[in-house]
Structure 1
Amino acid sequence: MAGSAVAAGAGWPLAGVASERRQPHHKPIPSSGERIPVIGMGTWITFNVPQDPDTLAVRTRILETFFHRGGGMIDSSPMYGRAEAVVGHGLRELAHPEGVFSATKIWTRSTSTGRDQHAESRDLWGVDTLDLQQVHNLQNWEAHLETLRERREAGEVRYIGVTTSHGRRHDDLERILRREDLDFVQLTYNILDREAEQRLLPLARERGVAVIANRPFRRKALINQFAGDPLPDWAAEIECENWPQFLLKFIVSHPDVTCAIPATSVVAHMEENMGALYGPMPDAEMRRRMVAYVQDL
């Protein structure tokens, strides 16, 4: 794990500073300057569901809540079973809401299968151009990046990147970041898993690469771990009403993190998550207090 050093938030109201208007927080993609909401959504497990009408209706309501509350990036993968098809169904039901940022992955050791997955993802999402296509967990990453550059040149994808998860393969990711021209990297970062602060986040900033933080709750483990404990009184200074907002604001207040992608299968939990998109963000001192508080629980 990383030490207690944490960076300041930047470019938004900080703790103790009232917002003039309640606008959702956005950050720029360094390679283009395009700004995206700092809270996105993942689909691992939560959208890999039977495609019956009742189940699909719930997922569509989750998507509707996400967009209504200012969301943008939806992250998926062929690895996630039916998730891409379920996302595509919801987007069609909602008439492809303005602001959707489609992010998916290639997940295969086969170069030719990777091309097929890319084509199938466009079809499942119902889009001509994917906003972001990533190489999932670095599988066959050199060959797949060549495919993604070709598809970007053809106008089938706007941004490209690579992903890791569970804090694995950081040495490989560092080498790729130093060597390759990427728009995005995705890695695990949360209030307890902070190893990325030491090398990867500063390197991403240096290289002008956007960072997506996955496993923000360790697949609900952090929510369960802290659920029986109260939030500190000073959490009200950054308008945190619950643990999901506390944990997400810690992540996205890091100046080198562009977006976090929590996943949920419950509409009410989506409302909670999206609350982190609004209000003051913690500054460097409060981030240190947040880490110390959870370490003492």
Structure 2
Amino acid sequence: MRPDPEHDSPFRLPCNPPMSRARFLRLAAATVTGFALGTPAAAARGASSPAATMLTRPIPATGEALPVIGCGTYVGFDVAPGSAEYQRLPGVLQALFDAGGSVIDSSPMYGRAEAVTGELLAATGAHRQAFVATKVWTRGRAEGIRQMEESLRRLQVERLDLMQIHNLVDWPTHLATLRDWKAAGRVRYLGVTHYTAGAYAELEAVMRAEPVDFVQINYSLDEREAERRILPLAAERGMAVIINRPFGGGGLLRRLRGRPLPPWAADIDASSWAQLLLKFVLSHSAVTCAIPGTSRPEHMADNALAGTGAIPGRDFWERHRIDAG
């Protein structure tokens, strides 16, 4: 069993014998569709449920409200049909939607993640609840179009909410194509991504030269380089910001796990280290949404709670420092 990309833990769920893919998808559809229509427990929670309270932030290009916590699919959704890992994934989507979240981010770089995402959304009829984002990760116009067409097929959609140029690979070529696709209604938003501060100079140049809708970057308590130029520039240019690696790729969270939460965590409505670290990311006003990756329903539910309650201002973190060494 592979580690969870953000919440790697020595605790492992027991593995039942794999069921057939067809039977699993039928059960997934029943589970998540029932959830989407509202279970008695959810109805009893009413307005106090997480779905009623997850914060949203506007996409600057349109003003559309986007929930502040989503789900990344790197590693966690790159699993074989019928495997124990695959059987957990409907619960991840259920936990995301139950909390009021919608953003699911993938890439053709992530193995089977796009296909698995598409299978589960189609099986549960949950496409209407999801804000589906993926990426183009190749060179050349024709190859880029072929790859994006394949992503649409795998994700089982005719139009994508967001198509991003992965790690700026051949961005001038793909950006021209994406503008055509956006004009034709095949994508709603377009963006660029990277995951390392070493690419920020090139990213900044693109952001200054091109009117993209979204920027996706790494940002966490121990990877704060984006605060210097990228996040302020996104705010200045009216670009939505999606944050990948909000836990420092998992290493930061692993270092903190097992330590007691600081007493002041309760002041910002954080009941776990994951929530505290996500609230740090969300405390920057330029951030639109964070997408911690997970393949575990309980971790998705825990992550989502970071999007509820208090989000402190930037000065809070100057007064309350965390030794993550």
Report if TM-score (shorter chain) is over 0.5: yes
Q: CA deviation at 1:97?
A: 4.9
- Aligned twin of 2:42: none
- Listed as ranges, the gaps of 5+ residues in structure 1 are 1-19
Instruction: Give the alignment partner of residue 152 of structure 1, picking from 172, 182, 198.
Output: 182
C-alpha deviation, 1:263, in angstroms: 0.4
2:271 is matched with 241
**Selected match of 2:312 from 262, 274, 282:** 282
Letter in 2 for 1:253: S
Q: Tell whether the 8 Å contact from 2:92 to 2:297 is kept in structure 1 after alignment.
A: yes
Q: What is the aligned partner in structure 2 of residue 40 from structure 1?
A: 70
Give the corresponding residue for 2:111.
Answer: 81
Aligned to 1:203: 233
User: 1:140 matched to which residue of 2?
Assistant: 170
User: In the alignment, which of 132, 136, 144 is matched to residue 114 of structure 1?
Assistant: 144
Find out whether 1:273 has 2:279 as its counterpart. Answer: no
**Contact kept? 1:67, 1:97, Cα under 8 Å:** no
Higher RCO by CA contacts (8 Å cutoff, separation 6 or greater): 1
Instruction: Report the number of matched residues.
Output: 276
Return the alpha-carbon distance in structure 1 between the equivalents of residues 283 and 158 of structure 2.
33
1:219, CA displacement in angstroms?
2.5
Q: Does 1:176 align with 2:202?
A: no
Contact 1:56 1:90 in 2 (8 A): no
Unpaired segments ≥5 residues, structure 2: 1-46
TM-score, with structure 1 as normaliser: 0.89
Partner of 1:293: 322
Question: Equivalent of 2:253, from 198, 208, 223?
Answer: 223
* Number of the residue aligned with 1:167: 197
Percent of counterpart pairs with the same letter? 45
- CA distance change for structure 1 residues 67 and 184 in 2, over 3 Å: closer, same or farther? same
1:98: how far off?
Answer: 3.7
CA contact (8 A) 2:85 2:295 kept: no
Highest CA radius of gyration, 1 or 2?
Answer: 2
- Scaled by the length of structure 2, the TM-score of the pair is 0.82
Q: RMSD over aligned Cα, in angstroms?
A: 1.5
CA deviations 1:90-120 (Å, max 9, x no partner) are 1012212543101000001232111011111
CA contact (8 A) 1:60 1:93 kept: no
Corresponding residue number in structure 1 for 2:24 = none
> One-letter code of the match for 1:285?
D
1-structure distance, mates of 2:92, 2:319 = 32
2:217 aligned with 1:187: yes
Amino acid at match of 2:90: T
Residues of 2 paired with 1:156 and 1:98: CA distance?
Answer: 16
Contact 1:188–1:214 (8 Å) recurs in 2: yes
